Amino acid sequence: MNERFGNRPEGAGRVGILRTGAAWAQRLSQTWVQRVAQMLLGMALALSVCAEAPAAATAKPAPVDEARVARGRELYLKNCFACHQMRGQGIPGVFPPLAGSDYLLADIDRAIRLVCEGLSGEITVNGRRYAGVMPPALLNDEEVALVMTHVLGNWGNSGPEVTPGQVRKVRATTAYPTFEALQQANRYPPLPKAPDGFGLREVARLPFRPVRMTSDGRGKTLYVLTEQGDVWRLDPSNAALAQILPAGRYLERRPDDLGGPLFVLGMTLDRQKRLYIASNQQNKATRPYQNIVTVYRSTGVTNGHPSDLKPWFQTNYPGSPAYIHGVEHIAFGPDGHLYVGNGGRTDGGLTGPDSEWFGGGETPITGCLWRLRTDVEPPSFEVYARGLRNAYGFAWNDAGEMFATENGPDADAPEELNHIEPGRHYGFPYRFADWTKKAYAASPDAPEGLAFTLPVANLGPDGGFAGTPMFTFDPHSGPGGIVFLGRDFPEGYRGTFLLTRFGNFIRSPKENSGFDVLRATLRRNAEGRYEGHFHTVLSGLGRPIDIHQGAPGRLYIAEYSRSTHSGESYGPSGRILELSVKGR
């Protein structure tokens, strides 16, 4: 039986909802330790809770330029958060901390140089060795100064203010002596060769980083979502691009919100062409701090496009300063109901003490797939399947069977493709892929008698296959959007799935993995479980994050940025590509 929880009527979702979430959360274990954040896509942006360095009691505080402070925080979140985390704590053993960093504070010019030029090789921070790669940040001198000043003035740091002139002087000594030289080095990558029977073209270069696409499937208009919640309209025929829904026009704001939205990653249309968008907003009105999930639905039409979004469904659960994935995908199933991928709030169920954030690991509604039944108002809410750390994409085949991509932990476990069935458990946080060992020594033990469903077995030749079946892809390769190909695609593609892989941040066990689109040809084995052959369709892409069928025989691929390997900056904005059957 699927487990049913409370629901929220359209227009609900005021701060009072937090008290409900806090009440049940406090009945859970109150231990939690900050662990490392899974990198997607790159893709999850959060707003920090910054502890400003106190001014000396004897000195009159200097005037604070609030706009510059806010801009520095915003730049940090867009360019640094994914690795160094919300409070500058970093990821132990993977990405060094900025909070209280002896390496940072010992040489400010060196720190500026690393932002402008990047870093590879081993360094020691607070007595711990780190051997990774930090790509240069695509920021001009003023922006580098703002973000450096933000880092040096928060989380207990007491460094000086950094000026644009100081940055300009340091940058002149780097491999990219001007910001323009760095921009030139971050050009859009060349288009890869299209597979036989297809054409590939660039539709539009974007002034933002896209995270999701949707359309009515007729090829006239493609709606593109940004991670901050803005919606843009794109005409694929002429690349005309216009913003139709600024995030500030529909996203709710509450007292005690922790900055802007954590991230806005879910978007889809229903059969009535109403637009749905899912957001995550952390809030400190109660302890433990909460993540408020809101699904908005359009209630009007302006100039032929959805408008007037209002809250349609809302719930909440304890947030997290590091690992929270939140709601990352929404899509309507063949049954007409809305399916919601709500990821884990930890890397692997780890717990520990925290005075502000819930320390009890996962909750009953995290790390799972929800189903919102649309045949009742307000929509009813149930957990459809469990044990899914981070299902960024899911789709159905022509038999109505559901398959979901899943990003794995920072431990080097394979990423997964799962055949989703109601009531099943897919392992998280107890087991990853086909591992029988724990991901971490402190990982929780599975409840006695809990049965796990294995991911789809990868029989090769691509996607990480190394001669023996694996479950399913290279570690850290970031499987994302997925689409099923029907009758309007040629033999060899008809009846298969295409899926994107965002590409790795963690450079273990491989320097580079992902940055591609794979074709998955699936079949049931003698035991009735799905296995598949995976072939590379496109490679060398700029962190592809989503794929969407916008018209018969036409697929659209969203490149989040321009980086085609793990050593490049993911800061530059991406583009939309079209992969189409020849003759369409």
Read out DSSP for 156-221?
Answer: T---PPP-HHHHHHHHTTSSS-SHHHHHHHTPPPPPPPPPTTEEEEEEEE-SS-EEEEE--SSSS-
Q: What is the pTM of this model?
A: 0.78
Are the CB atoms for 373 and 340 separated by under 8 Å?
A: no
pLDDT average, residue stretch 480-497: 97
Residue 84: its H or E element: helix 81-84
Q: Does domain 38-56+64-137+139-184 have CATH number 1.10.760.10?
A: yes
CB 405 within 8 A of CB 417: yes
Q: How confident is the model at residue 138 (pLDDT cuts 50, 70, 90)?
A: confident
Burial of 355 (0-12, 13-18, 19+ CB in 10 A): exposed
Residue whose pair of structure tokens reads 């796990």 in the numeric block: 452
Distance CA 148, CA 214 (A): 37
In this structure, the number of other CB atoms found within 10 A of the CB of residue 85 comes to 23
What pLDDT was estimated at residue 3? Answer: 40
Stretch (H or E) spanning 144: helix 141-152
- Asked if the model's pLDDT at residue 1 lies above 60, the reply is no
Whether 199 has a pLDDT exceeding 70, the answer reads: yes
With a cut of 80, say whether residue 485 has pLDDT above it.
yes
Instruction: Decide: helix, strand or coil at residue 27.
Output: coil
354 band by pLDDT with thresholds 50, 70 and 90:
confident
What percentage of the chain's residues is helix, strand, coil (to nearest 5)?
15, 35, 55
Residue 436 CB coordination number (10 Å): 5
Residue-level pLDDT at 132: 67
Element spanning 339, H or E? strand 338-342
Please tell me whether residue 283 adopts helix, strand or coil conformation.
strand
Asked whether residue 11 carries a pLDDT value surpassing 50, the answer given is no
Percent of the chain scored above 70 by pLDDT? 88
Burial of 449 (0-12, 13-18, 19+ CB in 10 A): exposed
| SS3 track for 407-427 | CCCCCCCCEEEEEECCCCECC
